Amino acid sequence: MDWCFMSALWYLLPVYVAFHFLCFIFADADLTLLRASLIGHRPETTLRGLVVWVTGASSGIGEELAYQLAKCGSRLILSARREQELMRVKRICLENSDLKDEDILILPLDLLERTSHEEKTQTAIQYFGRIDVLINNGGRSQRSLCLETSVDVYEALMELNFLGTVSMTKQVLPHMTQRGSGSVVTVSSVVGLAGAPLATGYSASKHALQGFFNSLRTELTDYPKILISTVCPGPVQSQIVNNAFTEELSKPVATVGNQEHKMPTSRCVRLMLVGIANGVKEMWIAQQPFLLFYYAWQYAPTFAWTITDLLGRKRVQNFKAGLDADSAYFTKPKTS
């Protein structure tokens, strides 16, 4: 009997290992999040009825968050600078969900105008009576080489991505500690964990967020029902490249390539919502081979630096040749 059991184990073990290996190779999220999405205890529909405040809701990931949250039945506060775009997003939310007009509050807001954040928060709380989830999503990226980039651009990246997010969190958090529950979910990036050429300031701002929220989570251990979660997406389809900072504050990005090779926004957002519903503290969301980078940077940094140098050099060459740095990752630089 023992022998039978041992030989069964002997044959099943490779199947078990192969299964996990295949899951890993085809995964588009870290294994904790992937497990939650496949066999999670709580589907994203458990967000029904919650009041969710989304910043950067006028485009890209934030816009898609609004659509999927509306379908889940969450009540929404939509913020960004462009009110017209927020009204468009609200209209589409209402067309595709059971929500009523009063279930969605449009609250235009500039993350850089920190003095306005207290009043905006009070408006949101007065309107719905509470905020259950704050999704710090608004932000901008960067496409420029450090040697050519003005310090003003670094300041602007930190002001927007880091201090804007800290300011919003500091306004909403006392309300959550008072109630003893809530979630603060912040969209960081793969470059919040790793490094990438052409994004020194952007990566620094996202690393700053990682440090801030990892420390804040530990400060809040007396509030076990408050979730502090960071989301680290790899490349996702959105307007992020069009809106990126360059060498100078007022200079737009020269080349924006096709975004089709990136993860669909809807998939990224679905995984985010599953993660929020299941209380996942850090989410890695990226298609392969990008997801392997997270594991390399986390568990084998020396190897990761070598690989990043190899691919990074190519990325810089492509950028200097006037190609889109993202879609041109594996493209030969122009020779003429």
Q: By the criterion CB under 6 A, which residues form the site for ligand NAP? A: 55-62, 80-82, 85, 109-112, 137-141, 160, 187, 189, 233, 235-236, 238-240, 243
Closer residue to ligand NAP, CB minimum distance, 240 or 304: 240
Identify which of residues 185 and 227 has a Cβ nearer to ligand NAP in the complex.
185
Distances (CA, A) of 18 to 12, 22, 34, 86, 148: 10, 6, 17, 46, 47
Q: Which is nearer to ligand NAP, 60 or 197 (CB)?
A: 60
Residue nearest to ligand NAP according to CB distances in the complex:
60
DSSP states of 247-285 as a string? SSTTPPPS-----TTSBPHHHHHHHHHHHHHTT-SEEEE
Choosing from 67, 154, 202, 294, which is the catalytic residue?
Answer: 202
Q: Say if residue 289 is preceded by a cis peptide, omega within 30 of 0.
A: yes
Please tell me the distance from the alpha carbon of residue 88 to that of residue 65, in angstroms, as a whole number: 14
Residue recorded with tokens 């870290």: 30
C-alpha–C-alpha distance, residues 7 and 18, integer Å: 18
284 with 294: CB under 8 angstroms? yes
The helix or strand, by DSSP H or E, that contains position 54, with its residue range, turns out to be strand 51-55
Calculate the CA 134 to chain-centre distance. Answer: 13
Q: Please, what is the minimum distance in Å from the beta carbon of residue 81 to ligand NAP?
A: 3
CB of 45 to ligand NAP, least distance (A): 23
Known catalytic residue at 202: yes
Number of Cβ atoms within 10 Å of the Cβ of 21? 11
For ligand NAP, give the closer residue by CB, 97 or 141: 141
Residue with tokens 């490779």: 14
Amino acid at 305: W
- Measured from the CB atom, the residue of 38 and 249 that comes closer to ligand NAP is 249
**Residue 47, both tokens:** 């967000």
How far is Cα 127 from Cα 140, in angstroms, rounded to an integer? 29
CB nearer to ligand NAP: pick between 176 and 209: 209
Task: Give the residue ranges of DSSP H helices in the chain.
Answer: 2-26, 31-39, 60-72, 83-95, 117-128, 151-157, 165-179, 200-219, 265-277, 290-299, 301-320
Nearer to ligand NAP, 99 or 196 (CB): 196
Alpha-carbon span 146 to 319, nearest angstrom: 13
Q: Which amino acid is at 154?
A: Y
Strand, coil or helix: 236: strand
| Active-site residue set | 202
